[in-house]
Amino acid sequence: MRKKIIAGNWKMNMTPSQAVELVNTLKPLVANEEADVVFCVPAIDIVPVTEACKGTNIQVGAENMYFEESGAYTGEISPDMLTDAGVKYVVLGHSERREYFHETNADVNKKVLKALEHGITPIMCCGETLEQREQGVTMDFIRQQVKVGFQNVTADQAKTTVIAYEPIWAIGTGKTATTEQAEEVCRGIRECIAEIYDDATAAEIRIQYGGSVNAGNAAELFAQPDIDGGLVGGASLKADFGKIVNYK
């Protein structure tokens, strides 16, 4: 039985002091023993948020990470910096990073491998544009993202990894994928993992849905057999996140 994982993706929101305030508001609302609860926060918020989350069930994640160990990469954050600060998860290959910062599948793969090497769980994002969906190439595109993203990742490592399926047209638009659309692609991703590895790996890997998840649609989405939780943007910054975490 896969444990649900419900993660907030704060994106470029919350100054350090606002972040601590938000954690203090959400702390009592997000207790749920049946799910892993993760706050993925801007790099500058990681230290104060980790401190504020001490003694709670909340785990802290980063929103990005570089694939080199250290050195002359001005502005980047290394895996050691994240682990030393207490980070357990990292969002990699979010569509906003792919679009605005030109991250490729190959870059994402390097980051996935580096995160795993350091014991940080990648939340690897994939998802199609509206145009791709209308052209009927959704699954081809996502299979490519998954296959390249998981290159050289072992089956044991893959089992611990999280994949977030986020249709780009549903992100921040209020336009959620239908439950059927979300389940269909998440099932397709699981089948792709079974092809790359085996059925046991596919049965263990956790696949989230993301894209306008809110307190009203979370229960139905998370009840699907292949949807193991959500990656939540806008609604993770509000008290509503407590309702999403306690969706049942």
CB of 220 to ligand PGA, least distance (A): 16
Cα distances from 99 to residues 20, 29, 128, 199, in angstroms, run: 29, 33, 12, 33
- Nearest alpha-carbon partner for 61 in 126, 11, 14: 11
Question: What phi-psi label fits residue 57: left (phi over 0), alpha (psi between -120 and 50 degrees) or beta?
Answer: alpha
Which residues sit at the interface with ligand PGA, rule CB under 6 A? 9, 166, 171-172, 210-213, 231-235
Which CB sits closer to ligand PGA, 122 or 233? 233
- The two three-digit tokens of residue 46, written as one number: 């990681």
CB of 152 to ligand PGA, least distance (A): 26
CB of 166 to ligand PGA, least distance (A): 6
Q: Are strands 4-9 and 121-126 parallel, antiparallel or unpaired?
A: unpaired
If you ran DSSP here, which 8-state letter would residue 205 be given?
A: S
Active site residue 102: no
Which CB sits closer to ligand PGA, 221 or 232? 232
CB of 232 to ligand PGA, least distance (A): 5
CB of 146 to ligand PGA, least distance (A): 17
Phi and psi angles of residue 139, each rounded to the nearest 5 degrees, phi first: -70, -35
Catalytic residue of the set 63, 103, 166, 183: 166
Which CB sits closer to ligand PGA, 35 or 202? 35
Taking the CA of residue 39 as centre, how many other CA atoms within 13 Å lie in the half-sphere pointing to its CB?
A: 35
Which CB sits closer to ligand PGA, 205 or 231? 231
Catalytic residue of the set 63, 94, 103, 128: 94
Q: Which long-range contacts (CB under 8 A, 24 or more apart) does 99-105 make?
A: 99/168, 105/144, 105/145, 105/148, 105/149
- Nearest alpha-carbon partner for 128 in 90, 76, 184: 184
Q: Which residue is nearest to ligand PGA (CB)?
A: 233
Which CB sits closer to ligand PGA, 186 or 202? 186
Active site residue 94: yes
Catalytic residue numbers?
94, 166
